[in-house]
Structure 1
Amino acid sequence: MTKQNADWIAVDWGTSTLRAWLMAADGTVLERRRSDSGMGALAHAEFEPALLALIGDALSCDRVIPVVCCGMVGSRQGWAEAPYASVPCAPPGIAQATQVAGSDPRIAAFILPGIKQNSPADVMRGEETQIAGVLAADPDFDGILCLPGTHTKWVHISAGEIVSFRTFMTGEMFALLSGQSVLRHSVAAEGWDEDAFENAVSDAMSRPERVAAALFSLRAETLLNGLSGASARACLSGLLIGTELAAARPYWLGQAVRIVGAEAIAAPYLAALQAQAADVTAIADEEITLRGLMRAYATLPETVE
C-alpha cells in the first residue's frame, strides 16, 4: 500500500517492543510494522525519533495524521505521562488521552491512559486497551477477563466498566526462577508434561504454603530421580499458576471467565481453570489491542491539529 492510503496510525508501545498498524479510516489494516524500540530502551528525547523511524515514510506533508498510542509509552518514563483513570470506569478513550506536543507537524499523537486502583493498590497500562477490544466485540459482556502475561491481570467487567482488578507477577517469577535461580539447571527452555503441570496446579492450590519447598524439590528431583527438563518446566509453571489461582479464586469461582492472549501463554491457564470446572473460554486474538485502538480512534474529532 502507498503511504497516501494511511488515514491514521495505531501504536502499541510496550517496554520492549513498538508495534504500529497503518490504518484506513474504515478500519482496514494497510500494513503492520514492528521494531525493538521499546520504552525500556529509550531516553525521553528518543521517543519521537523512534516512532518516525518506523512510520516516517508513511506520513504526508499535506495533512496531519492521527497516531493513537497505548501502553508504557504513557508511563512516567515514557514519551509523555498519561495520567491514570480510576476504577470503576470504562476503558479510557480519546477524551481522556494525552496529546503529545511533538516537533513533527505531520503527526498528532494521542496517548491513552492506563487505569489505577487505590485499594488494593494496582495499575495497568496497555491492558485497558485490550479490554476495550473485548468490549468492542461484545459490549454486553459481564464477567471476568484473565489477561496472562509477564504481569497477569484478573479484571472484573460489569455494565461496560472495569470494576476492579488484580495483578499477579506469575510470568516474571517464572522467568526469574527458570533463568536466574538454581532451577535454571533443571528447567528446560521448551517442552511440556501435561500430567506434571496438572498435578503441580492441584498441589499448589491445595497447599500454597508448601510451594516454596516444592520449588526446591524440582532441583532435588532432577538430581536424585532424573526429572526431565520438560517436566520440571511444566511443574514450575503449574506451581506458580496454581498459587495464582488460589489467590484469585474470588475472581473466577462461579464467574464467566475469558482468557485473552496468545495461545501459547493462554493454554496453561485454560487447562488449569478447566481442571477446576470453571466456566472458562479462551480468546486467541493477537490483534485484540488493535481493536481497542480502533474503538478509541472512532471517537476522535474530525479536525485534528
Structure 2
Amino acid sequence: MREAFIAVDWGTSNFRAFLVDGQTGRCLDEKCSSAGLRALSPEQFPHYCRQQLAEWRTAAGGSAPIPVYLAGMVGARTGWVEAPQLEMPLTLETLAENLMPAPGLDNAWLVPGARMVTSSHVDVMRGEEVQAFGALSLAGRQDGLCCLPGTHSKWVSARENTLTHFTTLMTGELFHVLRFHTLVGQPIPREEAFDAEGFEQGLAAARHPAGLLHALFEARSRHLHAGLEPAQVGSFLSGVLIGSELAAMQPWIEAEEGVVLVGSRELSESYRRAMETAGLAVCQVEADRASIEGIRLLNQWRSGSPG
C-alpha cells in the first residue's frame, strides 16, 4: 500500500476511482457513483473527493496520504478547477511535468488535457490522452493509432511514445440525438438489442455516394419500404455512423498496421465488428485498464522512476 496510488476518472455523468498497486498496476479496489460534474458545484469537489477516498488514503499509513490523480472533465472550466490543455505533440513526460495541484486536497493532482490549434484543425480532449498512453503501453507499442469510442470519439496517433495528432468525431452524441429526437429514430422501441443484420445494412449504407446525410435518412425509407424492422433501426443508425467514422479516418488508418481500440466491452464490440468487416487488424484494450496504466506511468514520472 505504501507505493499505491489512486486513479480517478471524473466525467460529466460519473465519478470512478481505482486504488492501484503502483508497481504492478493491479487494481486493488474501485468505487463508482453518478456524482459527475453535473451533480456538484465547484466548491463541493474537494469535499466529495476527500469523503470518497478517505478510507483508501489513510489505510496506507505513512506521513502523507497516497497520491490521487484526477483525469477527465474534472479539469475542465466547468469542473473542479481548470487544468491546462497542452499543445500537441505531447509526451508522457510533458504531461507529468504539468500536473496541477488540486486545490483543497493534499497530494492530489489534476491531469492536463490536450489541444490542437492550427489553421485547419482545432480540437481538444481531456482524459483520452491518458488512455492513449496507457493503451499503447499495454499493447507494447511506441507507435500506433488509437480509437477511443464514446460520446465524442477520439482518434489519436502516436510516434515514438509521443502523441502527434488527434481528431474528435461526435458519433455517440449524434446517435443519441437521432435516436431520441428525430423522425428517423421514431420507430425504435424503448428497449432494443443489438441487431447484426441492421448494423451490417448501416455499414453498407455509409458507403452511399450521396454521403452521411442521405445514409441516415435511409433508416426511415428502409423502414417504410425495404423491410427494416423497428428493432433494427437503432443498429442501422449505429452502423451508418460508425461506418462513416471509419471512412473519415481512412487516411490515418492506411498509415498504420491496424488500430488499438480502447473502450468498454459493450461499446467497443460494434467498433470491432465494423473494423473487422473492413479488414482491419484490431488490438482491443479495455478503457479502465488503459486509464489505470496511463496514470501508473504518470505516477512513475512524478516519483522520479519512469519505466
Alignment of 1:11-160 (within 5 A): 11-26=8-23, 27-60=25-58, 62-91=63-92, 92-102=94-104, 104=105, 107-119=106-118, 120-138=121-139, 140-160=141-161
C-alpha distance in structure 2 between counterparts of 1:48 and 1:108, whole Å: 12
- Check whether the contact 1:253–1:278 (CA below 8 A) recurs between aligned residues: no
Q: 1:97-143: per-residue Cα shift (whole Å, max 9, x none)?
A: 111231x5xx3111110110112001110001101212332453322
The residue number in structure 2 matching 1:162 is 163
Query: Which residue identity lines up with residue 168 of structure 1 in the other structure?
Result: L
Tell me which of 273, 279, 291 is aligned to 2:281. 279
Q: 1:220 to 1:138 in 2, by over 3 A?
A: closer
C-alpha distance in structure 1 between counterparts of 2:141 and 2:212, whole Å: 39
Q: 1:300 to 1:169 in 2, by over 3 A?
A: same
Offset of residue 152 of structure 1: 0.8
- Check whether the contact 2:102–2:108 (CA below 8 A) recurs between aligned residues: yes
Alignment of 1:196-207 (within 5 A): 196-207=198-209
The residue number in structure 1 matching 2:293 is 291
Q: 1:75 to 1:156 in 2, by over 3 A?
A: same
Corresponding residue SS for 1:101: coil
**Aligned-CA RMSD value:** 2.3
C-alpha distance in structure 1 between counterparts of 2:143 and 2:206, whole Å: 29
Corresponding residue SS for 2:193: coil
Query: Which residue identity lines up with residue 251 of structure 1 in the other structure?
Result: W
Tell me which of 5, 16, 22 is aligned to 1:8. 5
Offset of residue 15 of structure 1: 1.1
C-alpha distance in structure 2 between counterparts of 1:217 and 1:210, whole Å: 11
Unaligned runs of 5+ in 1: none
Q: 1:181-233: per-residue Cα shift (whole Å, max 9, x none)?
A: 223322244223323322321221242x3432343332344355653233211
Report how many residues are paired. Answer: 295
Alignment of 1:244-283 (within 5 A): 244-256=245-257, 257-283=259-285
* Percent identity over paired residues: 33
TM-score by length of 1: 0.87
Corresponding residue SS for 2:133: helix
Query: Which residue identity lines up with residue 15 of structure 1 in the other structure?
Result: T
C-alpha distance in structure 2 between counterparts of 1:124 and 1:187, whole Å: 32
Corresponding residue SS for 2:219: helix
The residue number in structure 2 matching 1:181 is 182
Q: 1:213 to 1:93 in 2, by over 3 A?
A: closer
- Check whether the contact 1:259–1:283 (CA below 8 A) recurs between aligned residues: yes
- Check whether the contact 2:18–2:29 (CA below 8 A) recurs between aligned residues: yes
- Check whether the contact 1:145–1:259 (CA below 8 A) recurs between aligned residues: yes
Unaligned runs of 5+ in 2: none
Deviates more, 1:80-89 or 1:216-225: 216-225
TM-score by length of 2: 0.87
Q: 1:146-201: per-residue Cα shift (whole Å, max 9, x none)?
A: 11111111111111111111110011100111022223322244223323322321
Deviates more, 1:167-176 or 1:34-43: 34-43
